[in-house]
Amino acid sequence: MNGPLITVLAGGTSAEREVSLGSGQAVALGMSFTYPTRLVVVEKDELPAGLAESGAVVYSTLHGVFGEDGGMQRLYEAAGVPFAGCAAKASELCFNKWRTRQVVSAVGVPVAPGRCFEAGNKPRAAELAQVLGDSVVLKPNRQGSSVGLQIVNTRAGLEIALGSGIRQGEWLAEKRIVGRELTVGILRGRAMGVVEISPKSGVFDYSSKYTKGLTTYTAPAALSEEVTAEVQRLAETAFAACGCRDYARADFMLSHEGGIYLLEINTLPGMKETSLLPMSARCVGLDFNALCREMVAPALERLAKAQRMSGR
């Protein structure tokens, strides 16, 4: 077993801590078949003790606030810790759904009509419906794993959601696109297989994501070659426009009319063997252990280059 130590970070302090712990355990095992690996559980919003001095390359599975919003990434960069995945600037951008929409739409990636607002300055339901219609998706602008996701289909439902379901923070309201939900993993800037997500409830919320049996996944998705290629092209375009590196996952809606709309880019997607990114990778022949190797490989290459330049 060769190469530097890989430190897998998991846990954290966000609402997605339990999801992160599962991802971390799976990745640490997958990495251990190729590299010396250790799993570190993060309990505070700070670098784990000794990480900067260990010489290890970090692979983080910290989801949610501070883990994937650029907070921890800024600490890696300040301490000179080599790490896999997006740098701090791209991480911060992609965690902000509204800013991501602005960046990708500027390069031709379609997004649903939407509006961003503070909970303390909410629009009236009638005002929002005039722009987006009565069928609206409401979600926190800076959260992952569908935390806080609400879907309303009537004016009365929209009034209730705005009145009682939104109390603090920044929120995104989008016109609901009815159709098929798709996701695609991106590795080194290239899109992998497209996966279709079919929640039995019709809504891919937190419960549908993490409760066994509530969602059916089709990998690869049963799409025409043309639609598959277009989803992959849009994913790669969005990835590049947001300054991402190494890996990410892009989520889309395919409307019944054939339109393809980006929902978001997830820079630290779930990484259990049954998670969406590994499903996408299996479509192109990468099993879980091979995927783990490929995800950390660019960070190892950057470290080797830095060492050569410094004469070490």
* Active-site annotation, residues: 16, 145, 210, 249, 251, 264, 266, 270
d(C-alpha 7, C-alpha 10), whole Å: 10
Output the CA angle 302-305-309, nearest 5 degrees.
140
Alpha helices in 133-224 (DSSP H): 155-164, 206-210
Q: Which two tokens stand for residue 102?
A: 């602005």
CB 17 within 8 A of CB 4: no
Amino acid at 46: E
Q: Which two tokens stand for residue 121?
A: 């300055």
> Can you say whether residue 139 is alpha, beta or left, with left for phi > 0 and alpha for psi between -120 and 50 degrees?
beta
CB 189 within 8 A of CB 178: no
Any long-range contacts for 47-56 (C-beta under 8 Å, 24+ apart)? 47/72, 47/75, 47/76, 47/79, 47/81, 48/7, 48/9, 51/7, 51/79, 51/81, 52/79, 52/80, 52/81, 54/5, 54/7, 55/4, 55/5, 56/4, 56/5, 56/6, 56/7, 56/81
d(C-alpha 3, C-alpha 38), whole Å: 13
d(C-alpha 146, C-alpha 211), whole Å: 13
Residue 49, CA distances (Å) to 36, 42, 46, 66 in order = 19, 10, 9, 17
**CA Rg value for the chain:** 20
Residue 18 has phi, psi (to 5 degrees) of: -65, -40
